[in-house]
Structure 1
């Protein structure tokens, strides 16, 4: 068993950069008690989902408030854990209870003896005492993190979340209200709410509060929701749907929460599916009073037995568990149920429009909702735990780091540039090393016409001129355009374009331009799968709408991508700005693991590793590999790193003398495990190349958090209202002892910028806070496909893109992507294990995935 390593401790605080007072979306927890919290195991039989579990706990709480609960206010996490500020009055520290929900009381009273709803059986058992004195020692910086400290933080987290989660629909640390809901297409709507989480910092605890939004099913008649999903003007049009449309509707309705209009108890049911026959043709056996059975349709039963007249008896039925059939029109979509499926392209755009607000509006929403919904002072659960919260959001000490000098080709009119606000442009600049492009192919996946041919030729003429002006050598002959159908064999389409390029220019094409008439991921994914894993020729996809009205900025951005795909170099940083990279041979590594979509248990997780091969961080070597589903540890990292060490030596004739490893996608709970296994793998690989190993610094990058910043002084904000590019925060809200910082390296475009949270898990290169923060910020200006600094350090960003691309490298077509940059394959292949196909080796030394 690998020995656990100690997480790196903060060496000092940073001082470089101009000081910037910043509003952070955190409240100070001014008091949280010094006594003991009692942790209880809580079991409900039968097991229930969290929202129902909270109802069971609430019913038990109402009955036992002044009995077992001794007048106190314990809190429940919705699953298995209860935390109490006092020891409960339980015999031998264990209690068993039978609990009826309020909704069942009437049915219970009306039911015959021995009939009616059954109670939930609840067992509470004392598990452990949590000493809050340990938490006080931890935030004072006198002790390190430990399981008891983490449990204390978790207990306080649940104390904050308990009341709102009992009153509103909730998920993890967020809860939502319908007060400001907005409709989305497809019969769903977006609800807003609040996220809250307790975080430790030096000398205090803080409560991170942020606005949060998610999709819900739109309550109302199921007929209306079905019509909206199918983009119909009225429910009456459902009568004319084809069989394929009903299959689509069946898939959409599965799992939908509904109530029924002929029942008065408001009970919620989940849809199992939609039948293939109408209610007037769906038959069942009805038992008569004399125990004989007759055949009756669902429509007739509702008309004759329940006196419910149906307007659309020809529409299919809704099927519930145990074969229960209900006419579509008597069903209502229940209110307050989250939509858990992936949003489509239109819904995603609508959601972004609703949630994208500038920092001042976001912070005003936080203050307003915290006052109206959280109401800290009136919360009896917080009072019971001795928790008090400050009235104002904290102002923290930030700094703005200076940008580096970006260098372009020596023949440029402006070979060096000092970016402002995290951005610059390509005016008067040539690339450091323009690629040689002797030949190329063109494939148009759209309708073949003279107009489209002329449009593509006109664009390519302008684009090639742009490439030449930037320093890329392009042939002067007329290109041959090939048209193809996107649903035809993509390999044949691409090879046809490749052959035409070879004939037109008399040389082997180095790239194929693919003009897409559709934004469907299935088409893009198939293009990349064939080109990356079979042909070994990079492709550059372009939407046809961009070719109709090309602009210089679009062509410049495409040119930047084309050059690095062909092995060229766009720009680099002034070596004096990056001494860690320039003074000794250094390898900077990015690594990430992406996982298959929700419910997909067969497709692999994918690990991506990419390593720099030169001091300018312009040459790279990459590798992707499959992992068992949902695995976070990069199991084969030792073998990957051995190949990377050899590749570095082949490129530079020497081995790297130090390593800086940026690991993306790791949650705080996984820090120790990932560090132990992956640092160990790097060291094992190094043992075959070094006598005394090589110093490694291991840094995690987290974007999935809720910390946001806004300048305390409006005149210090950038044009979007965000903090300036290069803003760093390493005190006031960071870890009490560990080496972490928040860096917003990019300038804002729209909405509220999200800083990246970097945590150093291990450091053998003896970085100071300043040296690592400055280096990380400067590297964010090395993302080659745009003239802007980016939010995530490029090696980690590359690994994320690389893992995303690798999800296309499987047998079967890609249908859609999940929320972690993954994807799922065609329905026919979803239940079959899928193999990851290797990328053609020559591409792994280029940024083919840009």
Structure 2
């Protein structure tokens, strides 16, 4: 028996840099790229950095390959360089005199291929066949999954002359006894049955979208249903213990880059994010699931294993530790490696606290993290 898997990878589009920049910034025309903000410039630079390109303004340079190091914060007409005689000039004027070429879009930034060497975006094309080694965004991720459909799998299997049997494979296995796990799924008694319920004295709700997309009536209806389970207070004078964030259905980048970063590292307030489609389609079971997440985030306990099955924990003081290191995707030089350690804080090993550090290849601060 063999296991067959299909692997797909993404490539940079072999096209002009201006076309790619338009797509990265979601612009329809070149004119929309006038007065690029610093945030958009950094977004372009992060996408293009280390990308191989070739220049089209000089026939002698067509076979040469250059690697992008950064994107200037000035336009072609405002980026200072030096001509062959050592005289100071701007990039647009240099191309006019040197190559008799008037730039069509002198308001665009330049790319830097090496120190003090600039090229306008409009004379650069991306070299074909370059792997995109970074993490795909949500839209591209869904697309890549969609192209690996069943029909294409069938096509590749036929090319390799593979056949799938109609018979089910039978293997020897053992069945382990299930642990005595205490939890309730009954909506009517969910709060009464939880081992430890944390009180929510003050909380807030933040909606990331316009009132046209998120009517106030729909938000209030969802909150009323959620409050049936929360039974929370609303002390307006106190700092909220929790912020409920309602996101657009494509709010993954907002979740990663802003909400969790600010909540975890700036304000120190617990955040819980939900997608808007769940707000509009209110279901009691979903509200209960949200309540269970809130209880756990505030330090409550939703379930536990019977102490009689964890004698090594309950009979003597014991801490259960879990450690992990995650690394950025290959090619992403803007993000560090992250180490995390979680430790149990009760006799039932059901409540945990965590410590996180930025570091290199191994967990180099383990002793400090477990204090």
TM over 0.5, yes or no?
Answer: yes
> TM-score, length-normalised on structure 1?
0.35
Partner of 1:443: 204
Unmatched 5+ stretches in structure 1: 1-21, 26-209, 373-390, 410-414, 416-424, 468-473, 483-494, 499-510, 644-850
Whole-angstrom CA distance in 1 between matches of 2:179 and 2:99: 79
What's the offset of the Cα at 1:512? Answer: 3.0
Whole-angstrom CA distance in 1 between matches of 2:72 and 2:176: 64
* Residue 23 (structure 2) pairs with residue 214 (structure 1): no
Partner of 2:261: 525
Whole-angstrom CA distance in 1 between matches of 2:120 and 2:323: 49
Whole-angstrom CA distance in 2 between matches of 1:277 and 1:457: 47
What's the offset of the Cα at 1:570? Answer: 3.1
Select 1:249's aligned residue among 44, 60, 71: 44
Partner of 1:610: 343
Q: Report how many residues are paired.
A: 351
SS at match of 2:344: strand
What's the offset of the Cα at 1:219? Answer: 1.0
Whole-angstrom CA distance in 2 between matches of 1:266 and 1:528: 49
What's the offset of the Cα at 1:438? Answer: 5.1
Whole-angstrom CA distance in 1 between matches of 2:116 and 2:28: 31
Select 1:514's aligned residue among 240, 244, 247: 244
User: Is residue 53–residue 65 contact of structure 2 (8 Å, CA) maintained in 1?
Assistant: yes
Taking a change above 3 Å as real, the CA distance of residues 440 and 275 of structure 1, as seen in their structure-2 partners, is same
SS at match of 2:222: helix
User: Is residue 315–residue 328 contact of structure 1 (8 Å, CA) maintained in 2?
Assistant: yes
User: Is residue 595–residue 630 contact of structure 1 (8 Å, CA) maintained in 2?
Assistant: no
Taking a change above 3 Å as real, the CA distance of residues 222 and 540 of structure 1, as seen in their structure-2 partners, is closer
What's the offset of the Cα at 1:545? Answer: 5.8
* Bigger Rg, which one: 1
Taking a change above 3 Å as real, the CA distance of residues 560 and 239 of structure 1, as seen in their structure-2 partners, is closer
Taking a change above 3 Å as real, the CA distance of residues 353 and 547 of structure 1, as seen in their structure-2 partners, is same
Partner of 2:144: 354
User: Is residue 271–residue 319 contact of structure 1 (8 Å, CA) maintained in 2?
Assistant: yes
Whole-angstrom CA distance in 1 between matches of 2:115 and 2:154: 50
* Larger proportion of strand: 1
Whole-angstrom CA distance in 2 between matches of 1:301 and 1:627: 45
What's the offset of the Cα at 1:335? Answer: 1.3
Within a 5 Å distance, the mapping from 1:61-460 to structure 2 comes to 210-239=5-34, 241=36, 245-246=40-41, 248-261=43-56, 262-263=58-59, 265-280=62-77, 282=79, 284-287=81-84, 298-299=91-92, 301-303=94-96, 305-306=98-99, 308=101, 310-343=103-136, 347-355=137-145, 364=154, 367=157, 371=160, 397=171, 399=173, 401=175, 404=178, 426=186, 430=190, 432-433=193-194, 435-436=196-197, 439-446=200-207, 455-460=218-223
* Residue 190 (structure 2) pairs with residue 461 (structure 1): no
Deviations 1:41-64 (A, max 9, x none): xxxxxxxxxxxxxxxxxxxxxxxx
What's the offset of the Cα at 1:443? Answer: 1.6
SS at match of 2:33: helix
Q: Could you say which structure has the greater relative contact order, defined with CA pairs below 8 angstroms and 6 or more residues apart?
A: 1
Taking a change above 3 Å as real, the CA distance of residues 524 and 568 of structure 1, as seen in their structure-2 partners, is closer
Taking a change above 3 Å as real, the CA distance of residues 215 and 589 of structure 1, as seen in their structure-2 partners, is farther
Taking a change above 3 Å as real, the CA distance of residues 626 and 399 of structure 1, as seen in their structure-2 partners, is same
User: Is residue 441–residue 513 contact of structure 1 (8 Å, CA) maintained in 2?
Assistant: no
Whole-angstrom CA distance in 1 between matches of 2:224 and 2:131: 50
Partner of 1:562: 294
Whole-angstrom CA distance in 2 between matches of 1:250 and 1:549: 40
Taking a change above 3 Å as real, the CA distance of residues 435 and 547 of structure 1, as seen in their structure-2 partners, is farther
SS at match of 1:594: strand
Whole-angstrom CA distance in 1 between matches of 2:366 and 2:202: 39
User: Is residue 443–residue 497 contact of structure 1 (8 Å, CA) maintained in 2?
Assistant: no
What's the offset of the Cα at 1:272? Answer: 2.8
Deviations 1:264-316 (A, max 9, x none): 653221123334444455565444xxxx6666654455455545454334433
SS at match of 1:564: helix
User: Is residue 605–residue 630 contact of structure 1 (8 Å, CA) maintained in 2?
Assistant: no
> TM-score, length-normalised on structure 2?
0.71
Taking a change above 3 Å as real, the CA distance of residues 403 and 332 of structure 1, as seen in their structure-2 partners, is farther
User: Is residue 513–residue 540 contact of structure 1 (8 Å, CA) maintained in 2?
Assistant: yes
